Amino acid sequence: MESLHSDEFTAHWAEHDLGEVVVSAKEVNDRVRELGRQITLDYAKNPPLLVCVLKGAINFMSDLMRAIELPVEVDFMAVSSYGAATKTSGVVRIVKDLDVDLAGRDVLIVEDVVDSGLTLNYLRQYLGARNPRSLEVCALLLKEGEQRVEQKLKYVGFTIESHFVVGYGLDVNERYRNLDAIYTFTGQV
């Protein structure tokens, strides 16, 4: 891990709440490109519908869809299981549902972080009931040892230690999403 005061841009307003760099902006950029190449190969015959899980995956989704060299379609879904906390409540609430029909489609859920796996498990069941041809997951982060539900993830950006992290779309109370890198959060909620 890099120190907070590396050559990487960090907003001065956030420094007091941030710990170490868990994933640098360069590492994120390089890995998203790799994932885009792999998805392009895997879905060459049937471009997927990318389902972005808002709001945390918005930065990842934006970069990932540009790294995929196929005519992908996108839709957005918002779910809540954290509220203002730093641990999942385990109760999933659909805040915004999809606008498109999934029947017969290859669907790729684009998720920011998988920790307990409860939200993702719920989403898979919820979306799977809509009869997609395939339903896979591309997660930016997988937290080691946090899964309460076994997950089969087709694409994973990074496996990280079990820290609460912010940046690159990940937030605390809607703050820190605009940081380019991913940091441990050391501030107060």
Catalytic residue list: 115
To the nearest 10°, report the CA torsion of 79, 81, 82, 83. Answer: 70
The answer to whether the CB of 79 falls within 8 A of the CB of 53 is yes
Q: Tell me the β-bridge partners of 135.
A: 107
The answer to whether the CB of 113 falls within 8 A of the CB of 143 is yes
Distances (CA, A) of 80 to 129, 156, 167: 20, 21, 18
Give the residue ranges of DSSP H helices in 23-149.
25-42, 58-67, 118-128
